[in-house]
Amino acid sequence: MPYLAPQNAEEAFRFLDRNRPKIIAGCTDYFPSLQQGETHQDLLDISRISGLRGINRTDRGWRIGAATTWTDVVRADLPRAFDALKLAAVEVGSLQIQNQGTVAGNICNASPAADGVPPLLVLDAEVEIGSVRGSRTVALSEFIQGVRKVDLGPGEMVVAIHVPDVVNEATSSFSKLGSREYLVISIAMVAAVVQVEDGHLTDVRVAIGSCSPVAQRLPDLEALLKGKSVADLAEMDFKAERTFAPLSPISDVRGSAEYRLDVVTEMCRRVIMQACKGD
């Protein structure tokens, strides 16, 4: 039952290849999932691997190391397109959870209600995966394949999340609907990144969480909104369009499918309008 906390990635890859350990970092999902009597398998703690913590500028965008916590995101100096991610960060559980939990862990846990996924989807994030066999990169939208299911083969681990360059003019927002303040699993979430020129939307990206097994972008809505006047958003009938087709919400203790579909349209309007304000 070894517990390995290596300082370099190669050592981690070798241990992964050899022992197929459970990968842990912030542990905010790992510990709550343990069942009575569940004995620890081999554990690979990636939190001490050099270069895995923090957000850096790269030649093609931004790199969020796999051990980067939500608090690291909140404190990082980032373009306004990342505001949605920062707003999501402060809604992840509580400050205690944000100090421990990692962005990469949030996507690897692959919960339909993962707070980080909608804001990363609207940033067109990609996932860098490493192993002894080398590294590969996949789009986040393809990395998360289903509930608790991600594209990680045996011996592989997420090394970083990459966000391609964003223009300085892009602004963003995020909203999470829950039954209480703090420490809440969302009923629905919306993230949006927009660009506004002369009062018109020149680019808009919207993603919805908790309304499908994996959070979804809404390409039809994005296409519909492109070119629209920001001033018209308040009166636009979002529900009239079949733009929410990618969503397939379930009914659970937090809300019915019908409720989710109804409110998410209004949330979209609000989040997009908020994003347009850019403050």
Partner 1 sequence: MDATNPNARIEFNLNGEDVRITAMPGERLSETLRERLDARDVKIGCNAGDCGACSVLINGEPVCACLMPAQQAAGQAVETVSGLVGRDDHAKALMERFQDHGAAQCGICTPGMMVAAVGLLRTNDAPDEQQVKDALGGVLCRCTGYRKIIDAVLDAPATMDDRGGAGRTLRRLDGVGKVSGTERFGDDVAPSGTLEIKVVRSHLPHASFEFGDLDAWCAQTAGMEAVLTAADIKGQNCFGVIPEFADQPVFAEGTARFRGEAVAAVVGTPDAIRTFQPKDFPVTWTAHKDSADPVQAQAADAPLLHETRKGNVMCRGFVKCGDADAALASADVTVEGTFSTGFVEHGYIEPEAGFAEVVDGRVEIHACTQAPGMDLDAMEIILGMDRSKIRMKPTGVGGGFGSKLDISVQPYLALAALKTGQPVRITYTRTESMQSTTKRHPSRIKLKIGATKDGRLSGFRFDGDFNTGAYASWGPTVANRVPVHASGPYRIADYTAVANGVHTNCPPAGAFRGFGVPQSGIAQESLFDDLAQKLDIDPLEFRIRNVLEDGVPTVCGQVFKQGVGAKACLEALRPSWDDERKAANAFNAQATGSKRRGVGIAAGWYGCGNTSLPNPSTIKAGIKADGTVVLHQGAMDIGQGANTVISQIFSTALGVSATDLALVGADTDVTPDAGKTSASRQTFVSGNAARLSGEAMRKKILRHLNVSDDATLTFGDGAITVADGDKTHKIDLSEMLADAEGYVFVSEGTYDPPTKPLDDSGQGVPYAQFGYAAQLAVVEVDEALGTVKPIKFVAAHDVGKAINPMLVEGQVQGGIAQGLGMALMEEYLPGRTENLHDYLIPTIGDIPPIETLIIEVPDEHGPYGAKGLGEHVLIPTAPALLNAIKHATGVRIHSVPVTPPKMYEAIKGRKNV
Q: Which residues of 2-15 are buried (b: 16+ CB within 10 A; e: fewer)?
A: eebebeebeebbeb
Which residue from 132, 236, 261, 263 is in contact with partner 1, where contact means CB under 8 A? Answer: 263
List the structure tokens of 146. 């289903």
Neighbours of 42 (CB within 10 A): 15
Measured between alpha carbons, how far is 45 from 3 in angstroms, rounded to an integer?
7
Asked if 235 is part of the footprint of partner 1 (rule: CB under 8 A), the reply reads no
Residue 41: count of CB within 10 angstroms of its CB: 12
CB of 205 to partner 1, least distance (A): 23
Q: Are strands 22-24 and 61-65 parallel, antiparallel or unpaired?
A: unpaired
Query: Which residue among 179, 202, 229, 248 contacts partner 1 (CB under 8 A)?
Result: 179
> What does DSSP say about strands 144-146 and 149-150: parallel, antiparallel, or unpaired?
antiparallel
The least CB distance from residue 151 to partner 1, in Å, is 26
- Per the CB < 8 A criterion, the answer to whether 150 and 227 are in contact is no
Measured between alpha carbons, how far is 167 from 136 in angstroms, rounded to an integer? Answer: 26
- What is residue 252's DSSP assignment? B
Q: Is 240 in the site for partner 1 (CB under 8 A)?
A: no
Question: Considering the rule CB under 8 A, would residue 94 count as an interface residue with partner 1?
Answer: yes
* Per-position x/- string for 69-88, each x denoting binding to partner 1 as judged by CB under 8 A, each - no binding: --x-----------------
Contact between 93 and partner 1 (CB under 8 A)?
yes
Q: Rg of the chain's alpha carbons, rounded to an integer?
A: 19
Query: 27 vs 138, which CB is nearer to partner 1?
Result: 27
Instruction: Identify the residue among 76, 184, 233, 261 touching partner 1 (CB under 8 A).
Output: 184
- Smallest separation (angstroms) from partner 1 to the CB of 261: 11
Sequence-separated (6 or more) residues with CB below 8 Å from residue 248: 211, 212, 213
What part of residues 43-62 is at the interface with partner 1 (CB under 8 A)?
43, 45, 47-48
Using rule CB under 8 A, residue 232 touches partner 1: no
Residue 30 three-state SS: helix
Residue whose CB is less far from partner 1, 108 or 267: 267
Position 256 contacts partner 1 (CB under 8 A) = yes
Site residues for partner 1 per CB under 8 A: 1-6, 11, 24, 26-28, 30-32, 35-40, 43, 45, 47-48, 71, 90, 93-97, 99-100, 177, 179-185, 187, 253-256, 259, 262-263, 266-267
